[in-house]
A = this chain, B = another copy of it.
Amino acid sequence: MKRKFQDIYKQLSESIEAGTFQTGTTLPSENELAENYNASRETIRKALNMLSEHGYIQKVQGKGSIVLDMSRINFPFSGVISFQELSQKLGTRTKTEVVYLKKEHATDHQLKGEERVWRVHRVRHIDGERIILDKDVFSVQAVPHLTNEICENSIYDFIENNLGLTISFAHKEIVIEEPSEEDQHLLDLNGSHNIVVIRSFTYLEDATLFQYTESRHRPDKFRFVDFARRVQT
C-alpha cells in the first residue's frame, strides 16, 4: 500500500489519453471507482484531484468528474521537461551538439553558495536546423562528474537514474530579447530579429538549487502550452 493513489492516477490519466473515457462524459463515480480499484473513497479522491490539477478532468459537485480535452496541451508540454524527453516524441529528427563542457569556478550569482559548477552549452538541432541554444550551469556538489556523452544524451536521465537524485520543481521566466552574437553564430536564426529566452532555476527534492538554465529558442519554432486553474481569492 505505498503508491496506490499515484498508480490509480496513472491508470486513469493513461485511459483518458488513450480515449477510453471520452471528452465531455463523466468518469464513474468516486464510490464506483473505489470498488473497482479496491480502494477507499479518499484514496480515489486523491487520484482525481491530481487529474483535476493537471487538466484531465473538471470536478462538479453533485454531477461528477467531466473528462476534458487534453489534445491541446499534449504537445509540447508544460512543466519541467527536458529536450531529451521532447525529442522522444520527434524521433530521429533531433540532434544535440555539445559546444562547451567545463568545470569552472562559479563567477556569477546564478548558483549562489556554490564554489564550483559545470558549465554546459548545447545546440539543439531539429530537422537539420540549429534551433535552440541551451546554456546550463550545474552544481558540482550535486553532479560530481559529467561527460560529453552524458550531455549528448539526457543529463536529467543521468541525474535521476545514475545519481539517484530527484528533480522536484522549477521557477521559470520567459522573455523576448535581441539575439546575441553567440546566438547569431551558433543558431540558424533564419532572419529572426528576436530570440525567446527561458531562464529557469531547477531544484531537488530537498529544495536545494542545483541547476540554472538559459534556453534560447528561435521564435518561429517556439510554442509554450499551459493549463492553469484560476486561483480563488
Q: Which residues of chain A have a CB within 8 Å of any CB of chain B?
A: 6, 53-55, 58, 60, 63, 66, 68, 72-73, 78-81, 167-176, 192-194, 196, 201, 203, 205-207, 219-220, 222-232
Is A225 a contact partner of B173 (Cβ separation < 8 A)?
A: yes
Is B60 a contact partner of A206 (Cβ separation < 8 A)?
A: yes
* Additional 11 contacts, C-beta under 8 A, given A53-B53, A171-B225, A192-B194: A54-B231, A58-B203, A60-B206, A66-B206, A72-B201, A78-B226, A78-B228, A169-B227, A171-B226, A173-B225, A176-B222
A81 to B225, CA, bound (A): 16
Chain B residues with CB under 8 Å of A63's CB are 206
Determine how many copies of this chain the complex contains.
2
With both beta carbons as reference points, the residue of chain B lying nearest to A9 in the complex is identified as B232
Taking the closest CB of chain B, its distance from the CB of A63, in whole angstroms, is 8
Taking the closest CB of chain B, its distance from the CB of A201, in whole angstroms, is 8
Chain B residues with CB under 8 Å of A227's CB are 169-172
A206 to B219, CA, bound (A): 36
Is A223 a contact partner of B174 (Cβ separation < 8 A)?
A: yes
20 A-B pairs within 8 Å (CB atoms) are namely: A6-B232, A58-B207, A60-B205, A60-B206, A63-B206, A66-B207, A72-B173, A78-B226, A80-B231, A81-B231, A167-B230, A170-B230, A172-B228, A174-B222, A174-B226, A176-B196, A192-B194, A193-B193, A193-B194, A226-B226
A220 to B79, CA, bound (A): 24
Interface centre among A66, A68, A229 (most CB of B within 10 A): A229
